[in-house]
Structure 1
Amino acid sequence: MTVPLFPDVVVNGEIIPSAAIAAEAQNHTAPKDKPGIAWRKAAQALAIRALLLQEARARGLVPDPQELAPGRWEIGEEALIRALLDTAIQPEPVTEEAIRAAWETDPGRYRSAPLWDVSHILCACDPGDAASSAAAEARARAILGRLDGGAESFARAARDSDCGSAAQGGHLGQIGPGDTVPEFEAALRGLPEGGMTAEPVLSRHGWHIIRLNAVAPGQVLPFETVHPRIARALEKAAWARASRDFVAGLGRRATITGASLAPI
């Protein structure tokens, strides 16, 4: 008899077919050469879901779907799981002492947003048009090859930029997190003060050469300012611990084949 490579999962006699696990596996990451990891993660997720639904029904809970966004509502099983977790999970309260201890561990973690003084040169293109993108990249690389890293040569080269900042030598002024597209900001965060990107950076607008002229680090925030943020983080962590313990308890009392609740 041939044993299936990925068997069905059975939770307290309830069968979760391999087709359902295969569909769920698309939502889980794994190395390209190890697809079995995504399968095991999916099997675990569906086994936990089955355990929660079984427990909710055993307690006689009734789903009360909530509106998640305008026109989008929870499905019945989602509402049932939420009702169970709201009922069963009672995380330990977060104390003022714990909040202050978390802050005192490293007050420097809690800063206001930095400000970056930035210049750039844009070679505009439609990234979805291969020919246009290749031509713009070649142009950006040619410009990059003429730069010596200094502010003056950058400003001169920026006169050929396709951005309105060309008239200011490519100077964008001071910007902060979220003021630019993600690709631009990611490259910016990797630059030292006075540094320039070694390669052109592609964004939805085209190819950029970026120079970080100066940076003003965020200031350390006082305890009173960050108190709500730390409290929310500790409450979230306490809820996560309590939910893991609850699921582990259900697992210890369950009969499960084809999946494991151990960390993957």
Structure 2
Amino acid sequence: MILSVNGIAVTVDRDSSAEMAAARELLRQRAIDLGLLDAATDDNATVEEAIETLLDKEVTTPVATEAECRRYYEQNPTEFDSGDLVYARHILFQVTTQVNVPEIRARAEKTLNDLLREPDRFEELARELSNCPSGQHGGNLGQLARGDTVPEFEKALFQFGASGILGALVKTRYGFHIVAVDKLIPGEKVPFELVHEQIAERLRSRVEERALRQYVSVLAGRAEVQGVDLAANASPLVQ
């Protein structure tokens, strides 16, 4: 079926969708009806400017109150956690399709046992044996947060009470790692005052999106739209 709005054919751009194209045409026609746009204008920038003026005029977006922001803050605590941080080092014994895996593992196990007896040799052995570029820096990985590494490595880094050279190899898709956790800094909840504006903007964006959908729905309910369902609703949901 051909996509059209009030008898006007609508073209869908490659980066758009039928719903978005039809909604834009509804808004364009509404802007023309209100005298915000000349019907003969086909300049995209001019059309977009007229649609923005239309939305400013007819779609009201309330500002979130401090109480609403604070309620969101309390109901979504994990969003405002600064996150755990860890300072770590490692020595990587890389596993590739060409290597003898049992031999590489045995070599890693021997090195780990040596380091558990002589932890001060970590930097020396990292420079000598590690297949990671960090080996040139004594295996130092610097500061890491959750999500910075592959999951299996992250689990070892952030396991409860992990510190010093871990007593077992860590196996990842890259190979076998000897891991030393030098410092773990638990995350803290960011104070409400520091994220108040961020929350207010997030809530405003949500309300704005919902109000725009409702506004387009009202326009669709008053129009003849073919080729797409814009959830037409003839009642004035947005005043």
Into which bin does the TM-score normalised by the smaller protein fall? 0.5 to 0.7
Mind listing any 5+ residue stretches in structure 2 that lack a counterpart? 39-43, 117-121, 160-169, 232-239
Asked if structure 1 preserves the Cα contact closer than 8 Å seen for 2:63 and 2:200, the reply is: no
Paired AA for residue 196 in structure 2:
H
Give the Å deviation of 1:166. Answer: 1.2
Asked if structure 2 preserves the Cα contact closer than 8 Å seen for 1:197 and 1:210, the reply is: no
TM-score when scaled to structure 1? 0.61
> Aligned equivalents of 1:45 and 1:144: distance in 2?
59
1:110 aligns with 2:84: no
Q: Residue 218 and residue 8 in structure 1: after superposition, are their counterparts in 2 closer, same or farther (change >3 A)? A: same
Asked if structure 1 preserves the Cα contact closer than 8 Å seen for 2:37 and 2:47, the reply is: no
> Aligned equivalents of 2:178 and 2:228: distance in 1?
49
Match of 1:228 in 2: 197
Q: Residue 218 and residue 212 in structure 1: after superposition, are their counterparts in 2 closer, same or farther (change >3 A)? A: farther
1:49 aligns with 2:46: no
Match of 2:148 in 1: 185
Paired AA for residue 111 in structure 1:
D
Q: Residue 56 and residue 116 in structure 1: after superposition, are their counterparts in 2 closer, same or farther (change >3 A)? A: farther
Give the Å deviation of 1:224. Answer: 1.7
1:257 aligns with 2:237: no
Asked if structure 2 preserves the Cα contact closer than 8 Å seen for 1:113 and 1:217, the reply is: yes
The range that moved more, 142-151 or 89-98, is: 142-151
Give the Å deviation of 1:165. Answer: 2.9
Matched-pair identity in %: 29
Please provide the CA RMSD for this pair.
4.0
> Aligned equivalents of 2:19 and 2:153: distance in 1?
37
Asked if structure 2 preserves the Cα contact closer than 8 Å seen for 1:143 and 1:157, the reply is: no
SS of equivalent residue, structure 2 residue 155? coil
Match of 1:59 in 2: 34
Give the Å deviation of 1:46. Answer: 0.9
Any residues of structure 2 matched to 1:1-264 within 5 Å, and which?
Answer: 7-16=1-10, 20-21=11-12, 23-24=13-14, 27=15, 42-62=17-37, 75-119=45-89, 138=97, 145-146=104-105, 147=108, 152=115, 156=125, 159-161=128-130, 165-176=134-145, 185=148, 187=150, 191-194=154-157, 196=170, 198-200=172-174, 213=181, 215-262=184-231
Mind listing any 5+ residue stretches in structure 1 that lack a counterpart? 1-6, 29-41, 64-73, 124-134, 178-183, 202-207
- For the pair shown, the structure with the greater C-alpha radius of gyration is 2
Give the Å deviation of 1:143. Answer: 10
Q: How many residues align?
A: 204
> Aligned equivalents of 1:212 and 1:78: distance in 2?
56
> Aligned equivalents of 2:21 and 2:90: distance in 1?
48
Structure 1: 4+ residue segments shifted above 6 A:
none
Asked if structure 2 preserves the Cα contact closer than 8 Å seen for 1:56 and 1:81, the reply is: yes
> Aligned equivalents of 1:209 and 1:121: distance in 2?
5
Paired AA for residue 84 in structure 2:
P
